[in-house]
Amino acid sequence: MSQNWWDNAVIYQIYPRSFADSNSDGVGDLNGITGKLDYIADLGVDAIWISPFFVSPMKDFGYDVADYRAVDPIFGTNADFDRLLEQAHARGLKVLIDMVLAHCSDQHPWFVESRTSRDNPKADWFYWLDPKEDATEPNNWMSFFGGRTWTWDTARQQYYFHNFLPSQPNLNLSNPVVLDAMIDTCRFWLDKGVDGFRLDAIHTAKLDNDWTDNRPRPRTDGIRPEREFDYQAQDSAQLNQPSIQILSARLRELVDGYGDRFLMGELDGEDAVAVSKTFTEPGRLHSTYNFNLLRMEGSTVAEVREIIGDLARNFNDSNAISVAWSNHDIARVYDRMKRRIDVPEAYADDFAHMLFQLSTSLIGSTCVYQGEELGLDDADRLTRDQLQDPWGVARYSETFKGRDTCRTPMPWTQDQPNTGFSGDDLVESWLPIDERHKSKGGLDQQGKQGSMFERNKGHLSWRREQPALTHNGQIQLIDGGDNVIAFNRLSHDQSDTMLCLFNFSSQTQSVEGVDIPPWSSAFR
């Protein structure tokens, strides 16, 4: 099996609004990222993935694209992107960009034209359906962000379909002209030299005309789900339809023409493993982004072990999987994990470091979210009136504050105004910087012996030299007792092995003759 650069890569996810603000307008930008490439390269990751920075009305903060070929002025210019790419490559960093192919913005000229009439040239670029006889929606599907997947348009006297916000209409990718247009968009960025794509919510792309109603999700525990969306079983035609593989195949054909470009699909489903396998059959995507560690309620040690076992059973040797423990859509990892695992405060940093080591010791690639390297807490002290995420704003509850708590600006250094995010104290950043983050700035931690940054950097630098962890291969779980996650990592040809041990308790544990200090890992 030949090794691709992404097979066991560590990919650093950047949420551009919140990373670094070079022009002090309160919002992060591309030049801000370029200014921090030395920091990222120093951490020792292989690649960066930048969340969308294209022209957008920002209803979903960039995941609603109005021009796929232009950088939004708030983030800079196309020339800024070219410079970022060149500077990243000069430091040996690969660059993945986030392509949103399933839907665009309702401000995109395609949709603006499409909604004007039933017979304009773009009339069938989106899914327009007539109401039922009684004027109600064409089917019973619910949107991820609440409410129906249907919005009525007065000009056309029809409903249009959207899996997310009403301002994010699904593209009609069953129309070959639309499919070609999206492939051309990808080609545009490949020609610039990007190293691949994170494919946003690819399981929600629609390439067919099956509108079968969803069934109610069977509920055995009697508990009502928090979201309307979760009342329905997702096994009819809303998500993960076989026709999406037409898109996967087209994308693969495209990137194969460039060589060495990576396709990582974000998806989920009733049976995420089965879906991931379908998406990564030969001639399709290289990898899919796995959600199993991204549970809102956190996971117990036993559950983490189960998730790892599941990865091993299904993806050993193929490595066609990308894991993540944090991202821009969910509360930060340490806080989520502490909901289920009782970590004494004195060990908080050790715990954070151990989770970082664990997630970068699995098979496949690992996505690390900005700030994870610093051990940032979730910014859960945001008040309701500070929230910006449309989902959080609309659906706020005791238990759901939306996605802003992981999106607050990165802290850089206490020596500068605004902790170095904007470099100007008069500027109010789009979300406030969390008070607890101010003493954890990235530049302040960099070079400081024993800091979380240096510990994680040290681990990545050691990891790079370990063929057992970086040459594809397998995970073989072994019994380490209730409090230890224990497995062997094997390189693909099995000539290298590494015993990986993670102690989730305050007592030293011993496995296979190796002592593991409290809340620490051991590798042999």
User: CA–CA separation, 490 vs 498, rounded Å?
Assistant: 7
Q: What's the CA gap between 173 and 186, in Å, rounded? A: 14
Q: How far is the CB of 200 from ligand BGC (least distance, A)?
A: 5
Please identify which residue in 7, 80, 329, 444 interacts with ligand BGC, judged by CB under 6 A. Answer: 329
Bridge-partner residues for 369, per DSSP? Answer: 13
- CA 433 from centre of chain: 21
Closest separation in Å from C-beta 64 to ligand BGC: 7
Q: Which of 53, 63, 128, 150 binds ligand BGC (CB under 6 A)?
A: 63
Q: 47 by DSSP, 3-state: which?
A: strand
Interface pick for ligand BGC out of 66, 100, 171, 333 (rule CB under 6 A): 100
Please identify, using beta-carbon distances, which residue of 63 and 229 lies nearer to ligand BGC.
63
- Asked if 19 interacts with ligand BGC (CB under 6 A), we say no
Which of residues 195, 200, 378, 434 is near ligand BGC by CB under 6 A? 200
Query: Is residue 404 part of the contact set for ligand BGC (CB under 6 A)?
Result: no
Name the DSSP letter for residue 202.
Answer: G
Q: How far is the CB of 165 from ligand BGC (least distance, A)?
A: 8
User: Of the two residues 199 and 307, which places its CB atom closer to ligand BGC in the complex?
Assistant: 199
Instruction: Return phi, psi of residue 272, to 5°.
Output: -60, -35
Q: Of 20 and 367, which has the nearer Cβ to ligand BGC? A: 367
Q: Cβ of residue 328: shortest distance to ligand BGC, in angstroms?
A: 6
Distance CA 508, CA 461 (A): 26
Residues forming a β-bridge with 290: 323
Which lies closer to ligand BGC via its Cβ, residue 106 or residue 329? Answer: 329
- The reply to whether 266 sits near ligand BGC by the rule CB under 6 A is yes
Among residues 20, 43, 201, 202, which is the contact residue for ligand BGC, using CB under 6 A?
A: 201
Strand 158-161 relative to strand 94-99: parallel, antiparallel, unpaired?
Answer: unpaired
The minimum distance between CB 367 and ligand BGC, in angstroms, equals 11
Determine phi and psi for 14, rounding to 5 degrees.
-110, 125
Residue 118 has a CB neighbour count (10 Å cut-off) of 14
Sign of CA dihedral 144, 146, 150, 154: negative
Residue pair 359/366 in contact by the 8 Å Cβ criterion: yes
Q: Among 21, 29, 46, 60, which residue interacts with ligand BGC (rule: CB under 6 A)? A: 60
The count of residues in the chain is 524
**Sheet bearing 158-161, strands edge to edge:** 128-129, 158-161, 150-153
Active site (catalytic) residues: 200, 266
Q: What distance in Å separates the CA atoms of residue 270 and residue 292, rounded to the nearest whole number?
A: 12
Nearer to ligand BGC, 330 or 343 (CB): 330
Q: CB nearer to ligand BGC: give 60 or 106.
A: 60
Is 164 an interacting residue with respect to ligand BGC (CB under 6 A)?
Answer: yes
The Cα–Cα gap between 255 and 426 comes to 45
CB of 329 to ligand BGC, least distance (A): 5
> How many residues sit close enough to ligand BGC to count as binding (CB under 6 A)?
9
Of residues 345-384, those binding ligand BGC (CB under 6 A): none
User: 179 vs 406, which CB is nearer to ligand BGC?
Assistant: 406
* Euclidean distance between CA atoms 87 and 81, whole angstroms: 10
What CA–CA distance (Å, rounded) separates 248 from 282?
10
- Contact yes or no for 30/81 (Cβ under 8 A): yes
| Neighbouring C-beta atoms of residue 154, cutoff 10 Å | 7
**Is 21 or 200 the residue whose CB approaches ligand BGC more closely?**
200
From the CB of 264, what's the least distance to ligand BGC, in Å?
A: 12
What is each CA distance from 172 to 114, 124, 235, 307, 484, in whole angstroms? 11, 7, 20, 35, 48
- Shortest Å distance, C-beta 390 to ligand BGC: 9
Which residue number, 363 or 367, has a Cβ lying nearer to ligand BGC?
Answer: 367
Taking CB atoms, the residue at the shortest distance from ligand BGC is 63
When asked if residue 291 is in the footprint of ligand BGC (CB under 6 A), the reply is no
Distance (Å, whole) CA 303 – CA 333: 15
Strand partners, 366: 10, 323
Cα-flanking dihedrals φ and ψ of residue 263, to 5°?
Answer: -120, 115
Strand partners of residue 488? 476, 499
CB of 85 to ligand BGC, least distance (A): 22
Six token digits for residue 294: 């991204």
Residues that bind ligand BGC (CB under 6 A): 60, 63, 100, 164, 200-201, 266, 328-329
